[in-house]
Amino acid sequence: MTLPRLILRNLSDGRLRLLAGALVLVALALVARPLPFARDGVSVLAIVDITGSMNVRDYVDADGVPTSRLDTAKVALRDLVAGLPCGSRFALGLFTERRPFLLFTPIETCAGFAPIDGALAGIDWRMAWEGDSRISAGLFRSIAMAGELGTDLVFITDGQEAPPLPSRGGPAFEGRLGGVRGLIVGAGAPGLSPIPRYDDRGRETGFYGAGDVQQENRFGPPPADAAQREGYNPRNAPFGAAAASGTEHLSSVRESYLRTLAGETGLVYAPLDGPHGLSAPLRGAATPRPVPGRLDPRPVLGAAALLLLLAAFLTPLLRARGFPTWKKA
């Protein structure tokens, strides 16, 4: 038998084919370059409510320590940004009074992670420039701002309007329904909790009491049921004679109100369940924006080569134990 004939005969050997297959795959892995492909990134403007009710500590962190809504929201946003594919863009703003305040326009989330992280860590309720919390007005302006920046919106709030909305309801949304996509994130627990109170040096001094806040909005016309109230007089006491009572000094997440706002504006409501979990709802609600990604084909080639190689070495063992292999005789 000559050498060429010998090689020819050996070529029909199953294990040779396995080894040769592995050889080709590994050789391919050595020369393979990452394949470019488009991934779905997002471009998002996050507006964080920094009003007083966001200081309510109705979350519990990993160590069991009560944590404020604002701190939980900050951690959740950090988690969200860290999980976005590179090429995504993130802008940050604050909300208090009735308008959002833009801290920075969109930044690429991988190269700019350190500054974004620092800016998120720096958010503080003390940055608030006024005490009111007119959520709907702030939300509508945030939507307009996201539209200007060409981004989607994540608006984190607990939904507590201060002062309370008048009986005829809040302002109407004048933008285009669904013109900006994104999330309204409801921060807070469903049960009522006291709101911490701070003095003018920023030190905590206790909680708000029932008499410290406006319990009913008495601007504008009285509600329809005012005539049934104690001491009602159309001219002198259109809201009744009794002082307003209520639970506005306590706070819970106003989920039904936020869901209504979401329906009005075409956003999606998502509850903030803790420091994780904003990523999935955002991906569902946001406009997918192609960002360049790279796929390394080497692990696939390498894994296939390893399987072929192991098969080549294992067949004699298997055959010896009576497992069927390709060999006829």
Partner 1 sequence: MIDALVRFSANHPALLWLLPLALLPLLTSAQRRVPVAALAAAPPDGPSRAISALLRVAGIVAIAGLILALAGPYRRGETLTRTGIGAQVSILIDRSGSMNETFAGRQPSGAEESKAAASRRLLAAFVGSRAHDQFAVTAFSTAPMLVIPMTDRHAAVRAAIAAIDRPGLDYTNIARGLAMALSQFGPASPATSRALLLVSDGAAVIDPRVQDTLRAAFTRLRPNLYWLFLRTKGSPSISDRPAGEDTPQAAPERHLDLFFKSLRTPYRAFEAEGAEAVAEAIAQIERLERDPIPYTEQRPRRDLAGFAYAASLVGLVVLVAAKLGEADLRRTRRSAAPVLAIASDPARHAA
Which residues are at the interface with partner 1 (CB under 8 A)?
1-3, 6-7, 10-11, 13, 15-16, 18-20, 22-23, 26-27, 29-30, 91, 94, 99, 101-108, 111-112, 114-116, 118-119, 121-124, 126-130, 298-299, 302-303, 305-306, 309-310, 312-314, 316-317
Q: Rank residues 29 and 184 by Cβ distance to partner 1 and give the closer one.
A: 29
Q: Rank residues 169 and 324 by Cβ distance to partner 1 and give the closer one.
A: 324
Q: Rank residues 27 and 242 by Cβ distance to partner 1 and give the closer one.
A: 27
Q: Rank residues 20 and 210 by Cβ distance to partner 1 and give the closer one.
A: 20
Q: Rank residues 196 and 302 by Cβ distance to partner 1 and give the closer one.
A: 302
CB 268 within 8 A of CB 281: yes
Q: Rank residues 2 and 236 by Cβ distance to partner 1 and give the closer one.
A: 2
Find, among 255, 270, 280, the residue nearest to 135 by Cα: 255
Q: Rank residues 105 and 233 by Cβ distance to partner 1 and give the closer one.
A: 105
State the nearest-atom distance from the C-beta of 43 to partner 1, in Å: 13
Find, among 2, 73, 87, the residue nearest to 39 by Cα: 87
CA 270, CA 280: separation in Å to the nearest integer?
10
Q: Hey, what amino acid is at 37?
A: F
CA 162, CA 133: separation in Å to the nearest integer?
5
State the nearest-atom distance from the C-beta of 30 to partner 1, in Å: 5
Tally of CB atoms within 10 A around 116: 23
Q: Rank residues 130 and 212 by Cβ distance to partner 1 and give the closer one.
A: 130
Residue with tokens 């955002």: 282
Q: What is the CA radius of gyration of the chain?
A: 31
State the nearest-atom distance from the C-beta of 213 to partner 1, in Å: 21
CA distances from 255 to 160, 172, 271 (A): 10, 18, 8
Listed in sequence order, the residues at least 6 apart from 111 whose beta carbon sits closer than 8 Å to its beta carbon are none
State the nearest-atom distance from the C-beta of 141 to partner 1, in Å: 10
State the nearest-atom distance from the C-beta of 132 to partner 1, in Å: 12
CA 278, CA 154: separation in Å to the nearest integer?
9
Instruction: Give the DSSP per-residue string, 168-205.
Output: T-SPPP-S-TTSS-EEEEE-S-SS-EEPEEE-TTS-EE
State the nearest-atom distance from the C-beta of 13 to partner 1, in Å: 7
CB 15 within 8 A of CB 309: no
State the nearest-atom distance from the C-beta of 280 to partner 1, in Å: 24
CA 281, CA 262: separation in Å to the nearest integer?
14
- Helix/strand/coil percent split, the chain, to 5: 35, 20, 40
State the nearest-atom distance from the C-beta of 321 to partner 1, in Å: 12
Q: Rank residues 60 and 306 by Cβ distance to partner 1 and give the closer one.
A: 306
Phi, psi angle pair for 290, to nearest 5°: -65, 125
Find, among 74, 61, 267, the residue nearest to 177 by Cα: 267
